[in-house]
C-alpha cells in the first residue's frame, strides 16, 4: 500500500474548513491540518520524528477530548476555552491536576503555527540560493524558541542542519512547479495567519498565553 502523500493543497483546504462563518475555529479541522503537516514532516526523513511524535501526541490528546463524553464542548477552540475555564479544567499557573488540558495542549500547536507561518512566508519569498536551514532557524528563533528550554533548542538546531534543500521542499509540497507552489503559498498564508490571529486574540483575552 502506498504511503500517504502530502499535498500542500490539503493543508490549505483543512485550514480553510477550520474557519466558521462567524470566525470560530473548528477543532476537528485544525487538528486535521496538523495531521497533514505531520505527513509532510515524515516525508522529510526520520531526523524529524522526535518533532512529529510530539505533534502526534498532542493531536491525540485533543482527539480524545473530541470523541469523549464532553466532545461537543470541543467543537471549536472558542467553546473549548469557555468549557474548560468554566469547569476549572485548566492548570493556570503550574502543572497540577490538569496537566494535559485541551487549552494548554492546543497552545503548543498554536505557537508552532506561528513558526509555520513565518517559515512559509520566508520560503515563498526565497530565492534560488536561500537556505532552508537558515529560513527554518530564523523563523524558529523569532517564535517557538522563546518557549523551549536549551536542550530542545539544541536538538532542533541539529535537526535543521539535516533539512533538505529548497528544491526538495518545493517538490515535497506536491503542488506543481515552483511558480505554482509560490502561488499556493500566497493563497495559504493569509488563511493560516487568520486562524493564528483568531486563536491568539482568544487566548490573550482569556490570559491563557503562558499556560504551563
Ligand atoms: C520542516 C521541518 C520541521 C521544523 C520544525 C520546527 C519547529 C521545531 C519544534 C521542535 C519541537 C521539539 C520537540 C518537543 C517539544 C515540546 O517540549 C514542546 C512543548 O510541549 P510540552 O513539552 O510543553 O508538552 N512542543 C512544541 O513546542 C510543539 C512543537 C511542534 C512543532 C511543529 C513543527 C511543525 C512542522 C511543520 C512542517 C512544515
- CA separation for the pair 80, 86 (Å, rounded): 10
The whole-number pLDDT of residue 4 equals 67
The whole-number pLDDT of residue 3 equals 56
The whole-number pLDDT of residue 47 equals 81
State the CB neighbour count (10 A cutoff) for residue 85. Answer: 16
Beta bridge mates, 19: 25
Q: In angstroms, what is the span from residue 199 Cα to ligand 1's centroid? A: 18
What residues line ligand 1, using a CB cutoff of 6 Å?
A: 37, 40-41, 44, 48, 50-51, 54-55, 108, 112, 115-116, 136, 140, 144, 152, 156
- CA separation for the pair 187, 59 (Å, rounded): 25
Q: How large a percentage of the chain has pLDDT more than 90?
A: 85
Which grid coordinates are listed for 164? Answer: 533538505
Q: Which of 154-170 are b and which e, b meaning 16 or more Cβ less than 10 Å from the residue's Cβ?
A: eebeebbeebeebeebb
Domains with residue ranges and CATH for the chain? 8-93+102-108+116-205 (1.10.3520.10)
The whole-number pLDDT of residue 174 equals 87
At 45, the pLDDT band (50, 70, 90 cuts) reads confident
- CA separation for the pair 122, 137 (Å, rounded): 11
Q: In angstroms, what is the span from residue 113 Cα to ligand 1's centroid? A: 10
The whole-number pLDDT of residue 46 equals 84
Q: Which residue has the cell 500547536?
A: 109
Q: How large a percentage of the chain has pLDDT more than 70?
A: 98
Residue nearest to atom 20 of ligand 1 (CA): 108
Residues 6+ apart with CB under 8 A from 18: 25, 26, 28, 29, 30, 32, 33, 195
Burial of 103 (0-12, 13-18, 19+ CB in 10 A): buried
The whole-number pLDDT of residue 1 equals 43
Residue nearest to atom 30 of ligand 1 (CA): 112
* Mean pLDDT, all residues of the chain: 94
* Residue 129 DSSP one-character state: T
- CA separation for the pair 110, 108 (Å, rounded): 5
* pTM, entire model: 0.95
pLDDT at 186 over 90: yes
Read off the pLDDT of each residue in 132-140 and give the average, rounded to a whole number. 97
- CA separation for the pair 43, 29 (Å, rounded): 21
- For a mutational test of ligand 1's pocket, the pick from 112, 132, 147, 157, i.e. the residue with the most ligand atoms closer than 8 A to its C-beta, is 112
pLDDT per position as a tens digit, 2-42: 456 778 899 989 999 999 999 999 999 999 999 999 998 88
Quick one: angle between helices 8-17 and 27-42, nearest 10?
Answer: 170
Read off the pLDDT of each residue in 54-80 and give the average, rounded to a whole number. 98
ipTM of the complex: 0.95
pLDDT per position as a tens digit, 87-122: 999 999 999 999 999 999 999 999 999 999 999 999
- Name the residue among 190, 173, 188 with its Cα closest to residue 40: 173
- CA separation for the pair 43, 4 (Å, rounded): 9
Q: In angstroms, what is the span from residue 56 Cα to ligand 1's centroid? A: 10
Amino acid at each position: 500500500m502506498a504511503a500517504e502523500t502530502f499535498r500542500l493543497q490539503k493543508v490549505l483546504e483543512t485550514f480553510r474548513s477550520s474557519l466558521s462563518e462567524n470566525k470560530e475555529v473548528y477543532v476537528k479541522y485544525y487538528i486535521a491540518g496538523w495531521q497533514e503537516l505531520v505527513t509532510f514532516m515524515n516525508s522529510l526523513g526520520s531526523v524529524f520524528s522526535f518533532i512529529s511524535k510530539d505533534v502526534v501526541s498532542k493531536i491525540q490528546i485533543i482527539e480524545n477530548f473530541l470523541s469523549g463524553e464532553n466532545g461537543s464542548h470541543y467543537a471549536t477552540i472558542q467553546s473549548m476555552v469557555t468549557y474548560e475555564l468554566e469547569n476549572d479544567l485548566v492548570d493556570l499557573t503550574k502543572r497540577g491536576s490538569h496537566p494535559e488540558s485541551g487549552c494548554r495542549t492546543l497552545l503548543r500547536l498554536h505557537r508552532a503555527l506561528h513558526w509555520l507561518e513565518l517559515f512559509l512566508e520566508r520560503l515563498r519569498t526565497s530565492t534560488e540560493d536561500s537556505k532552508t536551514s537558515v529560513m527554518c532557524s530564523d523563523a524558529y528563533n523569532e517564535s517557538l524558541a522563546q518557549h523551549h528550554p536549551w536542550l530542545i533548542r539544541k536538538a532542533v538546531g541539529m535537526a535543521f542542519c539535516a533539512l533538505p534543500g529548497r528544491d526538495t521542499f518545493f517538490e515535497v509540497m506536491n503542488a506543481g512547479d515552483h511558480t505554482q507552489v509560490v502561488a499556493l503559498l500566497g493563497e495559504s498564508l493569509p488563511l493560516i495567519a487568520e486562524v493564528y490571529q483568531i486563536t491568539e486574540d482568544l487566548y490573550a483575552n482569556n490570559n491563557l498565553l503562558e499556560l504551563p
